[in-house]
A and B are shown apart, each in its own frame.
Chain A
Amino acid sequence: MAETSKQTISIREYPVDEHPDKNYLNHDKGILSWLITLDHKRIGLLYLGSITFFFFLGGVLALLLRTELLTPAQSILDADTYNQIFTLHGAIMIFLFIIPSIPAALGNFFLPMMIGAKDVAFPRLNLASFWIYVAGALFALFSIVTGAVDTGWTFYTPYSTETGTAVVSMTLGVFIMGFSSILTGINFIVTLHKLRSPGQAWGKMPLFLWSLYATAIIQILATPVLAITLLLLIMERVLGVGIFDPALGGDPILYQHFFWFYSHPAVYIMIVPAFGIISELISVFSRKTIFGYWAIALSSLAIAFIGFLVWGHHMFVSGQSELSSVVFSFLTFFVGVPTGIKIFNWVATLYKGSIDLKTPMLYALAFLFLFTIGGLTGIMIGALSVNVHLHDTYYIVAHFHYVMMGGTVIALLGGIHYWWPKMTGRMYNEVWGKITCAVIFFSFNMTFLPQFVMGSQGMPRRYFNYLEEFQGLHQFSTIGSYILGLGFVMMALYLAYSLFRGPKAPPNPWGARSLEWMTSSPPTHHNFEYTPVILHGPYDHHQPEHEFRMGLVSESKETHG
């Protein structure tokens, strides 16, 4: 037992086969080979296609809302339709788009590649997650067709138990999608623990993986609470069991506690993966070692942990006890500290770097601008007395759009552009990429900055009609949203063009150091034809590139000494 066993392995460099005949895209053919694929890359693309569809749907709904708000009184929609559309916009964007966006699409594709694995730990479970997501989405679409939902995405009781719309099928859809989220989380955690390549210590994992790890922990711990809450809501509506509805002896504030116990950590399910992408982009396009690797990695976990203790800050004026509000406010501010640390670390990484303003880097810088505004306005609404004034106004709407869209969506766009050559094997047009990024950045600010002003002035959210004094700002915001929509159309066009006509991508167009770039673009079915061995950290730009392409000479060559 005390005998020491020493393992000797031989490694050599494996040069990349630039354009292999077989890659993951043409490995199998036919629609069925996609629908029942076990390949994490294809599943990632299935998710990417789905979230793109739902982002488009949610975006069109948003433009309808903004159009209605051009005038203070009714114009193109009636009140009930407006209420249904803002509910669907929120529910679709949150449950069908943004929660699965980065982890399920880009995470599925790149998590195994970044650790040099052939797939996730449980490929079949991964496919099941996708189809569970589809089943949930179908329920959601079904409820849109059969009477819609007009409760807001928060489903607050007792309104949601009393309204005549299709709340049950919608919540059932969200309930089902929760399982997809939980299973993906489990899959990622097991994969990261068990399938890392030889030499890849925890400290040599790309920060994107740390962020996915933190996200997976939240997904596993928080999502079941949402499932329980929605199940109780369904029980109340269908069976008349009194839990939240005072008319049946329940308590509506209990519902809010349950709901935010999930939905606040869910905010970090949405934003933490974005942090991971930004860490990759800033280091690669500055060609520089990331500043404060452990600070960034561990602050993700710190945010995940503190994120569980702050849900009550959504309820300062709900009627919960003043003491709880004070405690929740105090804890809330401590999310700001690790978040600030991340921003400072990214800025410090730029110092003495070799900064290349390619499209993904522009998105990373746009993220720093927009997310910092989102974060600082979060401090504003975490302050108790100011929150009383700003709660449920457009200030809140502006704040979470800066975090969710200015943060997560911008990072997602950065990530899509960054990994586009790897996923598709094609380059996109850099000029159009930069122009579009600028259009999206300016029109985003045009859309949502006025909403901070309206909110401070007292414009409540979820208002179908409004006072005339707000019309100027509303119109400005609406015009911004049209340009924003145009920006996304431009992006769809040049990316579609790239897909068919774009120049072929080299394996490592950005000079990155992490493993996914050490194989062909697009990758082969098994990602790597050898077992990669990791010698350096993922951001060691000072080490020669060929030392990142090492692999075992032979799997079974080991000697005992």
Chain B
Amino acid sequence: MNKIIEYLLPPQRSTVASEVDSLFMFINVAGFILFAGIMLTILIFVIKYRRKSEDDVTPVITHNSLLEITWTIIPIILILIVFAWGFRGFMTLSTPPPNAYEIQVKAASWLWEFEYPNGGTTLNEVFVPVDQPVKFIMRSDDVLHSLFIPDFRVKMDILPNRYTSIWFEATETGQSILYCSEYCGSGHSAMLATVHVLSKQEFEEWLETGLEVDEDMPLADLGRQTYTAAGCNACHTLDGTDRIGPSFLNLFGSERTLTDGRTVTADEDYIRRSIIDPNAEITAGYPANMPSYAGRLSDRQIDGLIAFIKELHD
């Protein structure tokens, strides 16, 4: 039985996971017993009471009070148990401990931005310490999004007009996937992030050094790293196929026809403008829905992206 539950659910990597899973298991087991009982009864009746002749006479049984009270009371007891159990877990999920480490989360179509108390930010990656309650305080830049980390059993919608929050306490180091689970348009299924759970010491070290961009890295390598870290890959491919935005392959130096009919050459300056103020000069045929990276990428990261795109030719 445990094997089945382990297969059905993601690994338990937060303190609330086991409580949620035990209720999941209880409902599955109780439900299965109930289901199997009903199906078995039907099977027995269908075999035993199959029609033997066209003249079969059946008894008139209109009701049976004792039976009916039984099958009303037992489900009521079961649902009250399930309700109370689910309520308890929900209270845990919605009551962050006062000492929680707070991270600001900004969701936009389609990227995740995480800001740490020291002012540093990361894109589409979040680093958290193990065995320490962490609280995400979340808001959206545009439409509804929802933050979902299956390994932690947490999920909450993110709204443009108010803060929502979730909290969790990771129980082991490693990586977990973070999804957007509220439909938000073309890039919805690409709006993913990685949760890195670090040991407390590693986390402290990371806070000191990890947030700084490696200035010594060659520009094109920095660009390649930024391409995935900033989530460019959600919309822009490297192999020439169109996803949501134009592919980066053979982009540099090409003539772009804009939605207003003008043509521009995709030079360094155009690519930079397209990162800082993307919707000002949209290539015809593509949606104007890229978020601005002004303030989200350093100048050197933008330089890196340009160098990276320059190299992408057949």
Q: Is the CB of A385 within 8 A of B155?
A: no
Q: Is the CB of A386 within 8 A of B60?
A: no
A306 to B90, CA, bound (A): 23
- The 21 sampled A-B contact pairs (Cβ below 8 Å) are A79-B187, A79-B244, A156-B182, A246-B161, A252-B160, A288-B59, A326-B90, A329-B90, A348-B67, A351-B49, A377-B31, A379-B27, A380-B27, A384-B90, A385-B85, A386-B89, A387-B86, A456-B9, A457-B8, A464-B189, A467-B177
- Additional A-B contacts beyond A287-B58, A341-B72 (14; CB < 8 A): A159-B184, A252-B160, A293-B62, A316-B90, A333-B80, A336-B79, A350-B45, A352-B49, A352-B61, A355-B49, A369-B39, A389-B153, A391-B155, A453-B8
Q: A162-B143, A379-B27, A388-B20 are in contact. Are A353 and B49 (CB under 8 A)?
A: yes
Q: A287-B51, A355-B51 are in contact. Are A337 and B27 (CB under 8 A)?
A: no
Q: Which listed segment binds A: B100-108, B128-136, B144-152?
A: B144-152
A325 to B19, CA, bound (A): 19
Contact with B along A443-459 (1 / 0, CB 8 A): 00000000001001110
Contact with A along B68-96 (1 / 0, CB 8 A): 10011001100110110111111111100
| Distance between A390 CB and nearest chain B CB, rounded to angstroms | 9
Tell me which residues across on chain B come within 8 A of A467, comparing CB atoms: 177
By beta carbon, the residue of chain A nearest B152 is: A389
- A318 sits at the interface (CB 8 A): yes
Tell me which residues across on chain B come within 8 A of A355, comparing CB atoms: 45-46, 49-51
Contact with B along A329-348 (1 / 0, CB 8 A): 11001101100110110011
Count of residues in B whose CB is under 8 Å from the partner chain: 88
Instruction: Point out the residue from A159, A318, A365 that lies within 8 Å of B143, measured CB to CB.
Output: A159
Instruction: Point out the residue from B45, B157, B181 that lies within 8 Å of A351, measured CB to CB.
Output: B45
Tell me which residues across on chain B come within 8 A of A316, comparing CB atoms: 90
Contact with B along A365-385 (1 / 0, CB 8 A): 100110011001101101111
- A197 sits at the interface (CB 8 A): no
A157 to B66, CA, bound (A): 50
By beta carbon, the residue of chain B nearest A365 is: B42
Tell me which residues across on chain B come within 8 A of A368, comparing CB atoms: 38-39, 42
Tell me which residues across on chain B come within 8 A of A162, comparing CB atoms: 142-143
Instruction: Point out the residue from B31, B60, B185 that lies within 8 Å of A163, measured CB to CB.
Output: B185
Q: Is the CB of B49 within 8 A of A343?
A: no
Greatest chain B CB density within 10 A among A316, A383, A541 is at A383
Instruction: Point out the residue from A156, A294, A354 that lies within 8 Å of B144, measured CB to CB.
Output: A156
A357 to B51, CA, bound (A): 9
Interface hits, A387-444 → B, CB 8 Å:
387-389, 391-393
A427 to B63, CA, bound (A): 34
- B206 sits at the interface (CB 8 A): no
Greatest chain A CB density within 10 A among B52, B59, B61 is at B61
Instruction: Point out the residue from B9, B72, B79, B190 that lies within 8 Å of A333, measured CB to CB.
Output: B79
| Distance between B151 CB and nearest chain A CB, rounded to angstroms | 8
Q: Is the CB of B59 within 8 A of A465?
A: no
Tell me which residues across on chain B come within 8 A of A456, comparing CB atoms: 8-9, 24
A325 to B181, CA, bound (A): 19
A42 to B164, CA, bound (A): 54
Q: Is the CB of A383 within 8 A of B82?
A: yes
- B56 sits at the interface (CB 8 A): yes
A340 to B35, CA, bound (A): 11
Instruction: Point out the residue from A322, A340, A352 that lies within 8 Å of B75, measured CB to CB.
Output: A340
Q: Is the CB of B243 within 8 A of A246?
A: no
Q: Is the CB of A465 within 8 A of B79?
A: no
Tell me which residues across on chain B come within 8 A of A292, comparing CB atoms: 62-63, 68
Q: A74-B241, A158-B143, A465-B190 are in contact. Are A388 and B90 (CB under 8 A)?
A: yes
Tell me which residues across on chain B come within 8 A of A294, comparing CB atoms: 63
Tell me which residues across on chain A come within 8 A of B42, comparing CB atoms: 347, 350, 365, 368
Q: Is the CB of A291 within 8 A of B62?
A: yes
Tell me which residues across on chain A come within 8 A of B85, comparing CB atoms: 383, 385
Interface hits, A24-57 → B, CB 8 Å:
none
Q: Is the CB of B150 within 8 A of A457?
A: yes
Of all A-B residue pairs in the complex, the 8 with the closest CB atoms, nearest first, are A385-B89, A458-B150, A383-B86, A246-B161, A354-B56, A384-B90, A333-B79, A463-B189
Greatest chain A CB density within 10 A among B24, B38, B189 is at B189
- B240 sits at the interface (CB 8 A): no
A330 to B39, CA, bound (A): 28
Q: Is the CB of B241 within 8 A of A352?
A: no
- B156 sits at the interface (CB 8 A): yes
- B3 sits at the interface (CB 8 A): no
Q: A325-B90, A352-B59, A368-B42 are in contact. Are A158 and B144 (CB under 8 A)?
A: yes
Tell me which residues across on chain A come within 8 A of B82, comparing CB atoms: 333, 379, 382-383
Q: Is the CB of A385 within 8 A of B68?
A: no
A384 to B71, CA, bound (A): 24
Tell me which residues across on chain B come within 8 A of A466, comparing CB atoms: 189
Tell me which residues across on chain B come within 8 A of A389, comparing CB atoms: 20, 24, 150, 153-155
Greatest chain A CB density within 10 A among B39, B41, B58, B86 is at B86
Q: Is the CB of B67 within 8 A of A354?
A: no
A155 to B144, CA, bound (A): 12
Q: Is the CB of A386 within 8 A of B86?
A: yes
Tell me which residues across on chain A come within 8 A of B182, comparing CB atoms: 156, 392
Q: A329-B86, A337-B72 are in contact. Are A156 and B150 (CB under 8 A)?
A: no
Tell me which residues across on chain A come within 8 A of B242, comparing CB atoms: 78
- A80 sits at the interface (CB 8 A): yes
Q: Is the CB of B68 within 8 A of A354?
A: no
A258 to B277, CA, bound (A): 36
Q: Is the CB of B58 within 8 A of A352?
A: yes
Q: Is the CB of A78 within 8 A of B243?
A: yes
- B250 sits at the interface (CB 8 A): no
- B258 sits at the interface (CB 8 A): no
| Distance between A53 CB and nearest chain B CB, rounded to angstroms | 27
Interface hits, B272-310 → A, CB 8 Å:
287
- B159 sits at the interface (CB 8 A): yes
Tell me which residues across on chain A come within 8 A of B248, comparing CB atoms: none
Greatest chain B CB density within 10 A among A151, A317, A389 is at A389
Q: Is the CB of B60 within 8 A of A319?
A: no
Tell me which residues across on chain A come within 8 A of B243, comparing CB atoms: 74, 78-79
Q: A340-B75, A385-B89, A457-B8 are in contact. Are A464 and B188 (CB under 8 A)?
A: yes
- B262 sits at the interface (CB 8 A): no
Tell me which residues across on chain B come within 8 A of A253, comparing CB atoms: 159
Interface hits, A118-144 → B, CB 8 Å:
none
Q: Is the CB of B10 within 8 A of A458?
A: yes
| Distance between B291 CB and nearest chain A CB, rounded to angstroms | 14
- A251 sits at the interface (CB 8 A): yes
Tell me which residues across on chain A come within 8 A of B1, comparing CB atoms: none
Q: Is the CB of A319 within 8 A of B143?
A: no
A353 to B58, CA, bound (A): 6
- B57 sits at the interface (CB 8 A): yes
- B122 sits at the interface (CB 8 A): no
Tell me which residues across on chain A come within 8 A of B9, comparing CB atoms: 456-457
Tell me which residues across on chain A come within 8 A of B159, comparing CB atoms: 246, 252-253, 319
By beta carbon, the residue of chain A nearest B31 is: A376
Tell me which residues across on chain B come within 8 A of A465, comparing CB atoms: 189-190
Q: Is the CB of A542 within 8 A of B58?
A: yes
| Distance between A295 CB and nearest chain B CB, rounded to angstroms | 6
- A475 sits at the interface (CB 8 A): no
Q: A326-B87, A467-B177 are in contact. Are A340 and B62 (CB under 8 A)?
A: no
- A1 sits at the interface (CB 8 A): no
Tell me which residues across on chain B come within 8 A of A462, comparing CB atoms: 183, 188-189
By beta carbon, the residue of chain B nearest A255 is: B144
Q: Is the CB of A354 within 8 A of B49?
A: yes
Tell me which residues across on chain A come within 8 A of B287, comparing CB atoms: 80, 164
